[in-house]
Structure 1
Amino acid sequence: MTQSLAEIKKLQNAMEAAVIGQADVVEKIIISLLCNGNLLLEGLPGTAKTRSIKTLASVMEAELSRIQFTPDLLPSDVTGTEIYHSDGGAEQLTFQQGPIFANLVLADEINRAPAKVQSALLEAMEERQVTVAGKTYPLPPLFMVLATQNPIEQEGTYPLPEAQMDRFLMKVDIDYPDDTAELGIIRLMRNEEQVSSHAEPLKISQNHIFSAREEIHKLHVSENIEQYMVALVMATRHPDRYPESSLSQWISVGSSPRATINLDKASRAHAWLQGKDFVDPDDVRSVAPAVLRHRLILSYEAAAEGVTSDQVIEEIIRQVAVA
């Protein structure tokens, strides 16, 4: 085990101890961080979406910025704006950075703001920079948007546009914890109400993140695995290749090339977290739902039958064989 892997495991364990019953969510957050990607968390209120992100910031040497998305939010409230001031008689415009200029950006309840505000994140998420009044400002080397949203069936929400959704490496759906985890949450909250100890808090250096990314980049991916990832994505675009299934009736629009790129990144990160130096089919299947579920547009037939994106992905995985 390399030093970087050991440090990332410490980070993962610390998060799992603070966010009980959500080990899969924690793993997907870590994978997104290692892939230099952005993550969308969706779940009902109280499912530790915000807590997960704040815990990540607390165990890293990273600056956390929180943006509460509301219907009256403006794009400049996210990116920043130029302000006019007078300095020694000289009048000038100075750029005042918005909350997007941080290492970890918590976009809380992102689907409660209109599309024009949501799209203010687009350039930052994809290009790692912000352009205001014709000037471009780079974001920190370690930058990640972690957005949360409540299910869009709830009132007062705005569905994210497809262009925005595609820029998230993964989308994780969070369920309520089971009985055992719920009991653990009660005890954890009770302990946190007590006076905290003076123990030195865990702080993972950003250098370990960058070192881990280099190691992940070197992981071996065989041609068969590459073809398997391509076949999974192509099944969303050409479901007619599998006439024995209902994919053609369920899928209206398939995944973009970003799906293939991110499936490769996430599979390598998953394999690295398991201590492997190669990617196998299980790694691909483990991350496929989170990578693909927000990149599918289902048909009216699927909606009428109550078929979800996850059920479609399960069927794709059943139909597509490893070469």
Structure 2
Amino acid sequence: MSEPEIIARKVGQLGRITLNRPKALNALTHGMCLSMIDALETWRDDDDVSAIVVDGAGEKGFCAGGDILKLHNSGKAGDNAAWLFWRDEYRLNTLIHHYPKPYVALIDGITMGGGVGVSVHGSHRVAGDRTMFAMPETGIGFHPDVGGAYVLPRLAGEIGTWMGLTGARLKAADALASGLATHYCPSGQNDALVEALEEADLTDEEALDVLLEEFSGDPGDASLAHTRGLIDAAFAGQRVEEIVSRIAGAGDSWSQKQASILASKSPTALKLTLAALRKGASLSFEDVMRQDLRLSAWCLTGQDFYEGVRAVIIDKDNSPVWSPTDLEAVSDNDIASAFDPLPQDQEMSFLDPAHPA
């Protein structure tokens, strides 16, 4: 008998969700999204549940993203499986964003893509020694979806632009410094923290934060303390070409590394991502979700998403051949068209009647 992909149960005053695909670093499937929605909607009105705690099975990953290969295959087949997955994943992200009870994500492990979507929109994100937080989508010809265009522009300065374009990986100290994590718990204390939460009386609104502080510690120095000025200067502006040119002319070792990273990404995805982040800065959460679904569907109509998945997931040669191969050849009109509304029956719709369809 196969293991369930989601383990949802009530323990003490907690609604507990464990993402249970450790061999796949707990990457989200469509069924996992639906199961999480069911559990969260059930517990929303359950007076016996005071808070939600979400973690990932195994020691390596909280959640490494979505099931990218299935999305690739759906796009190739021309069926609606990818669209259904994204719609329900984004519905889940929206449910978490508006959730009326504390939502604690224990992001002690790889937290990327879809894993960001089921953690960063909650009220509490607890980093650990194994935390590796990133939105690496430009490396597979995609964009930082799951509300990335809402969260990243709202980080200080240009931290979010840097993360979205380069796929920069943040450990615990930098996740805290950026605000993407709200708390830190040493990995060795994680089980004890969960046990304490399961036994706690959380009817007092302050009890949760008091417990999280008790199990905290020193995550070490944040590199952002040294690179923040460089990031803000390098990643400002409305055009990726300007950013790349500015970085290329800087000459310091940090800038040289960023230039090399950007050169490896899909030019189309870089332009799409920057446009999405700049637009997302002034959009509501629901409007970002609408934008995400439009951009994700648009990515299936091009070449780079399939080439990125081939290079990273299928053949694993990590040598994608992007088309176009350079930024100047990426049409601004093409990027603008990615934001066009979908047919009415394919546009984003939400679970809660309070959110307009």
- Give the TM-score normalised by structure 2: 0.28
Larger radius of gyration: 1
Greater strand proportion:
1
- Give the TM-score normalised by structure 1: 0.30
